[in-house]
A and B are shown apart, each in its own frame.
Chain A
Amino acid sequence: MAEILLKNVEKYFGDNYIIRKLNLEIKRREFVVLLGPSGCGKTTTLRAIASLEDIDSGEIIIDGKPVQNMQAADRDIAFVFQLYALYPHLTAFENIAFPLKAMRESPEVVKQTVQAVAKALRIEDLLNKRPGALSGGDMQRVAIGRALVRRPKAILMDEPIGSLDAKLREDMRTELKRLHIENEATTVYVTHDQVEAMSMADRIAIMHEGVLQQVGTPEDVYNHPANLFVAQFIGSPIMNIVEGVARPDDGRTRMQLGEGYAELDYPAELHHKLVEERHSEDELAIGVRPEGVQVSRTHDQGFIPVEAHIIEPLGPYDIVDLKFGSKLVRARTPSGYVDKAGDVVYARFDEKQTHFFSTRTGESLHIRFEA
């Protein structure tokens, strides 16, 4: 199993700057997910690691060896494609055996290895079928078998379960995680689905418009988003972002939200920290996830009256759109907590769950009130 290092990787398609000075280290046996919206360069990055795309500058280093000028065959890396790319004229067995034949293995070894892999993937009874006769899930199992069979240095997966239906996707997610743990294969996984990324990754690398935004564990990127893009990309429903103006006021910081009249209280040290950061007062955005919006039926200390606008009952909890002045903020409440749209309830932002960003750079100000 290998470690992969990307150093200042750049890639252009014509005039389009697809990957911008990308630096990323993927450790041995690690499961790293490249996450981002479509067109962010994540798939191109993955294909560059596999040598399916040439890079314009920078280095790709596998196990300490620069490989950017090496053929795919010499990099010893397996690739799982979104649409499986099983060879239609070969049976499942022959598909899985295909990489072994490239290594000129003897027929007995091929047979044994393929059987073992098929057993791990629970597809032993499908080996004589051609891809055309298999379901989407089974095709992807065969494709994964083809990637695993050679015990490559690393496995690259490009949205491997993106075209399966929701139920099957969940099953395959668990299975891929199990296979990763069993095989200890260094894995780079591309997806645009943040739930997939959060549930499977050891570390997530979030990309946007060719720029790597943040790399970290799922907890890291969820709890400490580095900028506004990551904050709004991770989490569902997305984080509320409200522009605010902070003013010191008698042992606390008054936060005026948007252009409306809603004002919230924050500890006095917020203003000190903002001053320390030399941050101008009117370029502040505050972010709070729906679960960080506290809702009460009674007018408690620090809570302000807000009107419920839309209620989405989701079973275990409700998502309620609240009108903070002119801004709509989504809150997560116990189901049925807010009776109906139009009701007035009381709400505040939990300061421990509030993130502060600069609206000018989009970067996090790294000011947090820890519990």
Chain B
Amino acid sequence: MAAVTSKGQRLWNRMLVATVFVLVIVFLAPLYWISSTAFKPRSLATTVPPTVVFEPEITPFIKLFTRRVQMRGEVDPEVYEEAEWYEKRVLDAGERFIKDADGNIESSGYWSRFLNSIIIAVTSTFLAVAMGTLTAYGFSRFRMPGENDWLFFILSTRMLPPVVVAIPMFLMYRAVGLVDTHVGLIILYTAFNLSFSVWLMKGFIDEIPTEYEEAALVDGYTRMEAFFKIVVPQTATGVAATAVFCFITAWNEYAFALMMTNSKAQTAPPYIPSQLGSGITDWTVIASGTFLFLLPVAVFTFLLRKHLLRGVTFGAIRK
């Protein structure tokens, strides 16, 4: 092949490579910016032009997890001597920790928000995928009156932007006391993802020949046992792909989280920008919070990448 490529074709190939290269830079630049800012000293965070080469430091992360105040004047040398290494970093930056009566450093809200994000995203993903798989199995294997209408109805729940229903939802949630609760957000995200999960899983389950379950049925298993022992293992790919998409949706959701929660069940997305307002904006703290927030999705997607790829080409390789 290579030997017979013409000059024009080679030029075309180079242009393609160049285009891809430019696109990669365009897409990765913001990611790099956030990641690098997370490790920058505060003074370098807002320089024009942006600083590219710098000595990375951990200070933004220390600040992220603690409550601090700006110091007036110099730090007391004695206090500085006695301080732990992480406290020194903060003192170096001209700030000091806020401590309670016992001298313990007060924690910022970030860690609990992060935990909320994990609890809510994981639970709602599990529920959406589990319910979606069962529903999809029903639609795939049993004939029922108005089947297509039901499927369309399920899909139609995604046809208007969710924010449109935000205010009625908020009023309803307030009436039943679900505002600022984990359960509230879990229900909301499960409902968002369910229609997507049903449709995606139906596609995967349709691909599995019914003979497998029929074989299990005559082999002495109940329909439910056949579902768990035969259908679920065979659609592991589909479950993985659906789970990744549902998790990303639930993890990144901002608007409802902002509206429906304020402290107890608040997730990370509304919390991170809320730190903009407290004192002078410290972009390095925001960046470090964002950086940590990106990690779980990256890890989750990375672990399931094989299944995701197979998921995309599922129909092509089965037959």
Contact = CB atoms under 8 A, between A and B. Distances in A.
A73 B220 contact: yes
A125 B67 CA distance: 68
Interface in A70-96: 71-73, 75-79, 81, 83, 85, 87-89
A150 B221 CA distance: 13
A103 interface: yes
Contacts of B219: 73, 78, 98-99, 102, 146, 150
Contacts of B212: 85, 87
A88 B216 CA distance: 13
Given A83-B211, A89-B233, A98 B216 contact: yes
A50 B212 CA distance: 14
B207 to A, nearest CB: 12
A89 B217 contact: no
B230 A78 contact: no
B220 A103 contact: yes
A52 interface: yes
What bracket does the count of chain B residues touching chain A fall in? 10 to 19
Interface of B: 209, 211-212, 214-222, 225, 230, 233-234
Contacts of B220: 73, 76, 99, 102-103, 150
Contacts of A51: 217-218
15 contacts: A50-B214, A52-B214, A52-B217, A71-B217, A81-B214, A83-B211, A85-B212, A85-B215, A87-B216, A88-B234, A89-B233, A102-B219, A102-B221, A102-B225, A103-B220
Nearest to A74: B220
Contact of A72 (B218, B230, B233): B218
Contacts of A72: 214, 217-218
Q: What 8 A-B pairs come out closest when comparing CB atoms?
A: A102-B220, A85-B211, A99-B219, A72-B217, A79-B218, A85-B215, A73-B220, A89-B233
Nearest to B208: A88
A19 to B, nearest CB: 18
Contacts of A98: 216, 219
A50 B215 CA distance: 10
Interface string A137-168: 00000000010001000000000000000000
Contacts of B214: 50, 52, 72, 79, 81, 85
Nearest to A50: B218
Contacts of A103: 220
B217 A73 contact: yes
Question: Looking at B216, B219, B225, B234, which has the most chain A CB atoms within 10 Å of its CB?
Answer: B219
Contacts of A85: 209, 211-212, 214-215
